[in-house]
């Protein structure tokens, strides 16, 4: 039900396939209260909503709403044809105390009204709850998740991850929930943290949960409705958000932006992000009747929210999510504290970092220094003759190779020049990409460099007439071909460069079929997403080669789907 199409570290672009349509993640589910509609369903769709979330408990407790929902279904009740997720009443228990319904009752009601994604009635764990009590509440929540898992019927089940601010409990809750067949994991109990601007704790809680979660299933950050947080949450591996904030903030004349919140009384001008009403001015907006003004502000808040979601998606496409997150974190002192969390968890985060991105990495401030790409490569060359502003001395042979290719930094590179293509340059790049000695290995014999007549750039390296590697001009890195894969295999030992697959499925890989996660028995833990790799059986028979599209850590956390995009196989 969750197809991951692209990733940038922990962030991923994916599709959740429900019975009423697809949710393209990351995305926001606007909260709809069937008793009070601030915006119509058409207006929600116009703002960018693909799906919505409503509260099954509120519907259940209202006789009129319940009757209509049971007769027409929840989609008929709210007049929405797309995916609908429902909350279970847990948040109401946080606000009002005990609620009068049993977990099995609200689950059956969610099934009866035909929701796409139903949520377990978990126990809301307050951030200040002591460890022992939080542990007891966690045990009760897990019992409810397991019971719901057995009786969920045809709906997707959302199994919330609780544990308060106790990080070990969050990880434990995630591990236990991952043993069930629940399709979605919401991280719950975090609204009080966001309301009090405890973003540092929020980040710690998300990471603690991610450490225990099955990475093949989407993660929902409950109650995350402010666009200032979407980039951070996506960066940490969240796929879904829900928001009542667009309407709540509007009810008190508060406008949301990616850099903060402003009350209408504070504004003298409407910032450029305001597009909810063409030609509107602050003066005109202040002069409107309250209901009309509230609707316009709500629409603005939602438009800004979905605009940020689109900006995040493009950043993932470009490989520039780090840069966007750093910019967003500088919006307030409370958010700046999250840099400390990232620094403390950088070793874990780096396990999900790709071998390369599609754009040259940029430093946006001193906080950028904690990024793995900078900490691992700065001053790592002994024979550098070009000075890079980020990486120190590097060989000029790497001047067009990721991440050293200059992009916007060309004028800042001392000694930069376009190098001619020769075998020495090829060997330097090969050693950098695959490890010392690979350059000599791939050039030991009669080498031929195939140069493009049009661009004058290297296209292919041949050794004794056999195709070894091709060059990606976009990244300045090499792409393995048959000869190169054979050489890597022959001159290295298990598990280096290797993805080890089940012998029974190896035949498919020999025929050029991709490798899927569930058939992998071992993997070189040093490999990164997007690295070139070879595919072998447990007996080290070479069966294929290609590009790794998941990280070893994700495999450990239960990732499903494609693991290696096979370029070619070695048929018998």
Residues known to be catalytic: 87
Can you list the positions of beta strands (E) in 159-239?
A: 185-187, 219-221
How far does CA 243 lie from the centroid of its chain?
Answer: 19
Residue 157 structure tokens: 């089940």
What is the C-alpha to C-alpha distance for residues 130 and 149, in angstroms, rounded to an integer? 28
254, 294 Cβ separation under 8 angstroms: no
CA separation, residue 182 to residues 85, 152, 216, 550 (Å):
14, 9, 11, 22
Q: Which single residue is written with the structure tokens 């603005």?
A: 300
Residue 186 structure tokens: 């919401």
Cis peptide leading into residue 26 (ω within 30°): yes
Region for residue 379 given its phi and psi (left: phi exceeds 0; alpha: psi -120 to 50; beta: otherwise):
left
What is the C-alpha to C-alpha distance for residues 153 and 108, in angstroms, rounded to an integer? 9
Cα torsion 109, 112, 118, 122 to 10°: value is 20
How far does CA 528 lie from the centroid of its chain?
Answer: 16
Residues 6+ apart with CB under 8 A from 111: 118, 152, 153, 154, 155
Among candidate residues 434, 418, 426, 389, the one with its CA nearest the CA of residue 527: 434
Q: How far apart are the first and last CA of the chain?
A: 36
152, 138 Cβ separation under 8 angstroms: no
What is the C-alpha to C-alpha distance for residues 432 and 77, in angstroms, rounded to an integer? 60
> Hey, how many other C-beta atoms are within 10 angstroms of the C-beta on 182?
23
Q: Which single residue is written with the structure tokens 């000029």?
A: 396
What is the C-alpha to C-alpha distance for residues 207 and 343, in angstroms, rounded to an integer? 12
3-state secondary structure of 167: helix
3-state secondary structure of 126: coil
């Amino acid at each position: 039900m969750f197809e991951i199409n692209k990733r940038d570290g922990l962030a991923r672009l994916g599709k959740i396939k429900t019975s009423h349509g697809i949710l393209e993640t990351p995305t926001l589910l606007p909260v709809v209260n069937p008793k009070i509609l601030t915006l119509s369903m058409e207006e929600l769709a116009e703002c960018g909503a693909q799906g919505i979330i409503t509260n099954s408990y509120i519907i259940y407790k209202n006789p009129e709403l319940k009757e209509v929902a049971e007769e027409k279904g929840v989609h008929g009740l709210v007049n929405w044809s797309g995916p609908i997720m429902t909350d279970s009443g847990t948040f109401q228990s946080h606000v009002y105390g005990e609620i009068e319904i049993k977990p099995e009752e609200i689950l059956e009601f969610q099934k009866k009204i035909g929701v796409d994604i139903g949520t377990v009635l978990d126990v809301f764990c307050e951030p200040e709850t002591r460890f022992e009590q939080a542990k007891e509440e966690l045990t009760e929540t897990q019992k409810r998740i397991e019971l719901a898992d057995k009786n969920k019927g045809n709906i997707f089940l959302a199994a919330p991850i609780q544990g308060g601010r106790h990080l070990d409990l969050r990880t434990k809750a995630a591990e236990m929930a991952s043993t069930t067949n629940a399709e979605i994991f919401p991280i719950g109990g975090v609204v009080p943290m966001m309301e009090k601007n405890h973003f540092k704790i929020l980040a710690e809680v998300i990471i603690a949960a991610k450490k225990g979660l099955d990475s093949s299933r989407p993660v929902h950050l409950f109650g995350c409705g402010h666009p200032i947080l979407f980039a951070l949450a996506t960066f940490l591996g969240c796929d879904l958000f829900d928001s009542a904030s667009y309407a709540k903030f509007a009810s008190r004349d508060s406008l949301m932006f990616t850099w903060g919140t402003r009350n209408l009384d504070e504004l003298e001008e409407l910032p450029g992000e305001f597009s909810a009403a063409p030609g509107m001015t602050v003066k005109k907006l202040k002069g409107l009747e309250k209901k009309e003004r509230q609707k316009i502000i709500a629409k603005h808040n939602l438009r800004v929210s979905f605009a940020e979601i689109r900006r995040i998606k493009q950043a993932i496409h470009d490989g520039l999510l780090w840069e966007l997150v750093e910019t967003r974190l500088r919006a307030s002192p409370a958010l700046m504290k999250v840099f400390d969390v990232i620094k403390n968890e950088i070793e874990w985060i780096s396990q999900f970092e790709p071998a390369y991105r599609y754009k040259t990495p940029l430093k946006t401030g001193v906080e950028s220094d904690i990024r793995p790409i900078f900490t691992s490569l700065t001053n790592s060359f002994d024979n550098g003759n070009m000075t890079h502003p980020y990486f120190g001395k590097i060989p000029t042979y790497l001047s067009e190779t990721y991440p050293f290719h200059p992009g916007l930094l060309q004028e800042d590179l001392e000694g930069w020049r376009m190098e001619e293509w020769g075998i020495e340059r090829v060997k330097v790049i090969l050693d950098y990409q695959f490890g010392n000695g690979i350059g000599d290995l791939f050039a030991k014999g009669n080498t031929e460099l195939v140069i493009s007549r049009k661009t004058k750039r290297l296209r292919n390296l041949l050794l004794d007439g056999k195709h070894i590697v091709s060059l990606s001009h976009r990244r300045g890195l090499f792409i393995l071909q048959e000869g190169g894969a054979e050489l890597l295999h022959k001159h290295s030992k298990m598990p280096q460069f290797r993805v080890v697959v089940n012998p029974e499925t190896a035949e498919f890989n020999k025929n050029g079929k991709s490798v899927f996660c569930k058939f992998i028995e071992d993997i070189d833990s040093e490999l990164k997403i997007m690295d070139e790799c070879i595919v072998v059986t447990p007996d080290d028979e070479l069966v294929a080669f290609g590009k790794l599209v998941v990280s070893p850590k994700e495999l450990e956390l239960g990732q499903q789907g494609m693991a290696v995009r096979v370029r070619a196989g070695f048929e018998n």
